[in-house]
Amino acid sequence: MRFDKLKHLVQHLKQTLPCTHCDKKFLYKNIKVIITTEDEGIFSLECSKCGYVTMANAGIHPDRKHNSVISKRDVNEMEDFLESFNGDFKQLFKSSNPKK
């Protein structure tokens, strides 16, 4: 990813993504780049207030006409699911997609 795109993504994350645990905005020094492709990246964001770590996948898509927003409720529901998930993907997909 070109530096100008990466800089834009990091600025966007800092401005729009609060900590999912305490709602504080992230500091630049606490946003780490894990990996990038041409138009996307995976970031680790550590809250300077509570220490909670959030993983974010962000991308630049110029032809995209809408933004997908993940709410705090979405994150909490996924967290609840993962706490009870036993790792059995076969059973998970079997129960949600019955055979015809």
- pLDDT per residue over 16-28, tens digit each? 889 988 999 999 9
Residues of the chain with pLDDT under 50: 100
Contact 32, 44 (CB under 8 A): yes
pTM of the model: 0.60
The Cα 53–Cα 38 span in angstroms is 25
Identify the pLDDT of residue 64: 57
